Every structure is written in structure tokens, then in C-alpha cells.
Copies of this chain bind each other. A is one copy, B any other.
Amino acid sequence: MKNIGAFIKENRKAAGLTQEEFAVRAGLGLRFVRDLEQGKETVRMDKVNQALAMFGMKAVPGKADDE
């Protein structure tokens, strides 16, 4: 499974949203959305879940070596 940042980026684009539109709709800061999509690892899990919730998802344990 792709990492979370890539997942958000793909799905956001598929939804036809800019980072800014997505940030507003998700109730997140634009800077956070940028950082997340850039693969920043030291983000807070609640914010990550808030972003994932836009697509009916959340952070769960998955195999580390999965594609």
C-alpha cells in the first residue's frame, strides 16, 4: 500500500481539488496538507486521520513491505 501522503495526493487530485480547497474542506491548514503530501513523517496522527476521513479512510496497521 502506498504511503499516506501519496494516497491523499492521488485521491485529492482525483476529486479535482487543489491543496487549498482540500485543506478548507477537511478543516486543516494548507501548510499541513502540503507537508503531508510531501511525505513529512513527523505529522500528528489526528490530523492525518482528519485528512484520510475525507475519503472514508483512517490510518491502520499494514505490512511495512507492501507495495
Contacts and interface: CB of A to CB of B under 8 A. Distances in A.
A44 interface: yes
Main secondary structure of the interface of A (DSSP, over half): mixed
Contacts of A64: 52-53, 56-58
A16 interface: no
Nearest to A59: B59
Interface string A38-55: 000111111011001101
B60 A66 contact: yes
A57 B43 CA distance: 18
Interface string A2-35: 1110010000000000000000000000000000
A7 B63 CA distance: 13
